[in-house]
A = this chain, B = another copy of it.
Amino acid sequence: MKKFINNYENMIDEYLKGFVALHNDKVERKEERVVIRKGAPVEGKVGIITGGGSGHDPFLIGSIGKGMVDAVAIGNIFAAPGVQICYDTIKAADSGKGVLVCIGNYSGDLMNFGIAVDMLREEGKDIEVIIMNDDVASAPKDKKDNRRGIAGEIIMFKTMGAMADLGFELKALKKAGDEIIYNTRSLGVAHTACIMPSSGKPSFKIGDDEMEIGIGHHGEPGIKRVKMMSADETTDFIMEKILEDLPFKNNDEVAVLLNGLGSTALSEMYIVFNRAKDILKSKGIKVYRSYIGEYITSMEMGGFSITLTKLDKDTKKFIDHPCDAVHFVQV
């Protein structure tokens, strides 16, 4: 297997040791599987927490820092963290102003965080949960609640982290968060599987000349398996699906996030952006701010996703708010 690991059993522990050692100015390890912002809980603000399976770096722990996430519950590769980890993570972020749990729509995460939230509410803690479901490929529009969360989770962290940093109360975060999730739509494409470190096997099978639109971050089925298309053809297809889904309309203002899944070169993603911006312009949709890079990967998976979030006066302020997370710095 072509991975720089020592053995699968120690992989997560060694990775977290390296992470915490390198970023010891910003993070600390609270429990074996809980990483927190240094000094968390931060007095006087709502705690922002997340968690989920590993294997998506810089996603999850890379978002820890001022203006984004306060604590993260760490699971094994592509596996939800256990209930106790979720419980400890939420508790570690609570300064008394309550905690917003920001997770993706995956059954293991929903179940384990759900139990932890129930336990903590019984202890009198003030906790709200928001669940990102931005992936338009994973269920029809009228069943948005069944859709998976993908790169839109970064927009969720960015905006909720900003609101908490600006001193908003938990109820306001929950309300705005649910609206931002509703206004966020993504679609991805992958042509190369990642290699599972447990087995050394690819996470899905795909032909040498094929790609799959809408395939999930863990290899969940997409909506269309086709021969490799050009950058423009791929972008046209993805943008059409996203735009018609909300739908995004003339005079809307949007944040655009182009997320690399692992091995796709940044230069290819700029070619995709070059087409996406022209499509948006032709529809009269204004690009307010754009992000490009690897935010949520699947190790060495090849492909990318496009995320659009419709913004208003308030959400533009939250998008613009500076943050200083480990792998997401905005000045």
Q: Which residues of A contact B (CB under 8 A)?
A: 1-7, 11, 14-19, 21-22, 54-55, 57-58, 62, 191-192, 208-209, 211, 228, 230-232, 234, 262-274, 277, 290, 292-294, 297, 299-300, 302, 304, 324, 327, 329-331
- Looking at chain A's contact residues, the main secondary structure is mixed
Task: Kindly report how many copies of this chain are found in the complex they form together.
Answer: 2
Neighbouring B residues of A299 by C-beta, 8 Å: 265, 267
- Tell whether A267 pairs with B55 under 8 Å between CB atoms, given A2-B191, A2-B228, A4-B272: yes
Neighbouring B residues of A55 by C-beta, 8 Å: 265, 267
Whether the pair A4, B57 counts as a contact (CB closer than 8 A) is no
The smallest beta-carbon distance between A12 and chain B, in angstroms, is: 8
The smallest beta-carbon distance between A74 and chain B, in angstroms, is: 11
Whether the pair B327, A331 counts as a contact (CB closer than 8 A) is no
Give complex CA distance A247, B234 in Å.
50
Q: Which of the residues B15, B264, B293, B297 comes within 8 Å of A4, measured between beta carbons? A: B264
17 contacts between A and B (CB under 8 A): A2-B208, A3-B268, A4-B269, A4-B304, A5-B231, A6-B230, A14-B231, A15-B268, A18-B269, A57-B265, A57-B266, A58-B266, A263-B302, A300-B302, A324-B331, A329-B329, A329-B330
Chain B residue with the shortest CB-CB distance to A1: B228
Give complex CA distance A304, B18 in Å.
15
Q: Which of the residues B57, B264, B265, B271 comes within 8 Å of A18, measured between beta carbons? A: B271
Whether the pair A14, B324 counts as a contact (CB closer than 8 A) is no
Give complex CA distance A149, B24 in Å.
30
Give complex CA distance A293, B1 in Å.
22
Which residue, of A5, A262, A266, A299, has the highest number of chain B Cβ atoms within 10 A? A266
Give complex CA distance A265, B55 in Å.
8
Q: Which of the residues B18, B232, B262, B297 comes within 8 Å of A6, measured between beta carbons? A: B232
Whether the pair A18, B270 counts as a contact (CB closer than 8 A) is yes
